Amino acid sequence: MNQQQASMPRVFAPVITPFTADLAVDAPRLVAFCKWLVTQRAGLAIFGTNSEANSLSLAERIELLDALVDGGVDPRFMMPGTGASALPDAVTLTRHAVARGCAGALVLPPFFYKGVGEDGVYRYYCEIIEKVAASQLRLYLYHIPQLSGVAITASLIARLRQKYPKTIAGLKDSSGDWENTRRMLEEFPDLQVYPASEALLERALPLGAAGCISATANLQPRLIADYIDQWSMPRGRQINGQLTAVRLRMQNTVMIPALKAVVAHYAGDPAWTTVRPPLSAAAPAEVQKLLADLDGMGFAMPGIAAAGEVKQ
Amino acid sequence: MNQQQASMPRVFAPVITPFTADLAVDAPRLVAFCKWLVTQRAGLAIFGTNSEANSLSLAERIELLDALVDGGVDPRFMMPGTGASALPDAVTLTRHAVARGCAGALVLPPFFYKGVGEDGVYRYYCEIIEKVAASQLRLYLYHIPQLSGVAITASLIARLRQKYPKTIAGLKDSSGDWENTRRMLEEFPDLQVYPASEALLERALPLGAAGCISATANLQPRLIADYIDQWSMPRGRQINGQLTAVRLRMQNTVMIPALKAVVAHYAGDPAWTTVRPPLSAAAPAEVQKLLADLDGMGFAMPGIAAAGEVKQ
Please state whether beta strands B192-195 and B168-173 pair in parallel, antiparallel, or not at all (unpaired): parallel
What is the ipTM score, two decimals?
0.95
Contact of B127 with chain A, judged by CB distance below 8 Å, is answered with: yes
pLDDT at B305: 87
Q: Which of A86, A124, A278 sits opposite B113 (nearest CB)?
A: A278
- CB contacts under 8 A, B 241-300 vs A, are 276-280
Q: Which of B58, B113, B276 sits opposite A87 (nearest CB)?
A: B276
Per the residue annotation, which of B35, B125, B140, B142 is the catalytic one? B142
pLDDT at A1: 44
Query: Cα Rg for chain A, rounded, in angstroms?
Result: 18
User: From CA A29, how far away is CA A304, in angstroms rounded?
Assistant: 12
Nearest-neighbour CA in chain A from B148: distance (Å): 7
Per the residue annotation, which of A35, A125, A140, A142 is the catalytic one? A142
Chain A residues closer than 8 Å to B150 by CB:
278
pLDDT at A212: 97
Mutation pick from A85, A121, A125, A150 vs chain B, by most beta carbons of B within 10 Å, is A85
Q: Which of A59, A123, A149 sits opposite B277 (nearest CB)?
A: A123
Contact of B67 with chain A, judged by CB distance below 8 Å, is answered with: no
For chain A, the domains span 11-222
Which residue on chain A is closest to B120 by alpha carbon? A278
pLDDT of residue B2 exceeding 60: no
**What SS3 state is found at A168?**
strand
A11-222 to CATH, choices 3.30.70.20, 3.10.20.30, 3.20.20.70, 3.30.1490.20: 3.20.20.70
Mean pLDDT score, B220-232: 96
pLDDT band at B306 (very low <50, low <70, confident <90, very high): confident
Chain B residues closer than 8 Å to A85 by CB:
54-55, 85, 111-112
Q: Is B194 a known active-site residue? A: no
List b or e across A270-301, with b for residues whose CB sees 16 or more CB atoms inside 10 angstroms.
Answer: ebbbbbbbbbbbbeeeebeebbebbeeeebeb
User: From CA A190, how far away is CA A123, in angstroms rounded?
Assistant: 23
Contact of A113 with chain B, judged by CB distance below 8 Å, is answered with: yes
- What pLDDT digit, counting tens, does each position of B158-210 carry? 999 999 999 999 999 999 999 999 999 999 999 999 999 999 999 999 999 99
pLDDT at B1: 44
pLDDT at B5: 58
- What pLDDT digit, counting tens, does each position of B16-50 carry? 999 999 999 999 999 999 999 999 999 999 999 99
- What pLDDT digit, counting tens, does each position of B282-301 carry? 999 999 999 999 999 999 99
- What pLDDT digit, counting tens, does each position of B86-126 carry? 999 999 999 999 999 999 999 999 999 998 999 999 999 99
Length of chain B: 312
pLDDT of residue B308 exceeding 80: no
Which residue on chain B is closest to A150 by alpha carbon? B278
Contact of A127 with chain B, judged by CB distance below 8 Å, is answered with: yes
Q: How many CB atoms lie within 10 A of CB A155?
A: 9
Contact of B23 with chain A, judged by CB distance below 8 Å, is answered with: yes
Does the distance separating the beta carbons of A116 and B278 come in below 8 Å?
yes
Question: Which residues have CB under 8 Å from A45's CB, separation 6+?
Answer: A12, A13, A14, A15, A51, A78, A79, A80, A81, A106, A172, A213
Does the distance separating the beta carbons of B277 and A87 come in below 8 Å?
yes
Contact of B124 with chain A, judged by CB distance below 8 Å, is answered with: yes
How many CB contacts within 8 angstroms connect chain A with chain B?
A: 120
Contact of A187 with chain B, judged by CB distance below 8 Å, is answered with: no
Homologous superfamily, domain B11-219 = Aldolase class I (3.20.20.70)
Chain A residues closer than 8 Å to B153 by CB:
none
Residue type, A307: A
Q: Which of B60, B112, B123 sits opposite A111 (nearest CB)?
A: B112
pLDDT at A310: 66
pLDDT at B6: 62
Chain A residues closer than 8 Å to B215 by CB:
none
Does the distance separating the beta carbons of A124 and B85 come in below 8 Å?
no
Chain B residues closer than 8 Å to A160 by CB:
none
Does the distance separating the beta carbons of B111 and A112 come in below 8 Å?
yes
Nearest alpha-carbon partner for B202 in B244, B154, B261: B244
Mutation pick from B25, B56, B57 vs chain A, by most beta carbons of A within 10 Å, is B57
Q: Which of A58, A87, A111 sits opposite B58 (nearest CB)?
A: A58
pLDDT at A2: 41
Does the distance separating the beta carbons of B121 and A85 come in below 8 Å?
no
Q: Which of B89, B116, B277 sits opposite A127 (nearest CB)?
A: B277
Nearest-neighbour CA in chain B from A303: distance (Å): 32
Q: Which of B60, B114, B120 sits opposite A277 (nearest CB)?
A: B120
Q: Is A163 a known active-site residue? A: no
Q: Which residues pair with A107 in a beta bridge?
A: A141
Which secondary-structure segment (H or E) carries B297? none
- CB contacts under 8 A, A 191-220 vs B, are none
Q: Which residues pair with A78 in a beta bridge?
A: A44
Query: Cα Rg for chain B, rounded, in angstroms?
Result: 18
pLDDT at B205: 97
Which residue on chain A is closest to B257 by alpha carbon? A116
Contact of B151 with chain A, judged by CB distance below 8 Å, is answered with: no
User: From CA A178, how far away is CA A181, in angstroms rounded?
Assistant: 5
Does the distance separating the beta carbons of A280 and B117 come in below 8 Å?
yes
Q: Which residues of chain A are modeled with pLDDT < 70?
A: 1-6, 310-312
Which residue on chain B is closest to A93 by alpha carbon? B57
pLDDT band at B307 (very low <50, low <70, confident <90, very high): confident
Sheet holding A43-44, edge to edge: A43-44, A11-13, A212-213
Does the distance separating the beta carbons of B276 and A121 come in below 8 Å?
no
- What pLDDT digit, counting tens, does each position of B228-240 carry? 999 999 999 999 9
Alpha helical stretches, state H, A149-303: 154-163, 178-187, 201-204, 221-230, 234-251, 255-267, 284-296
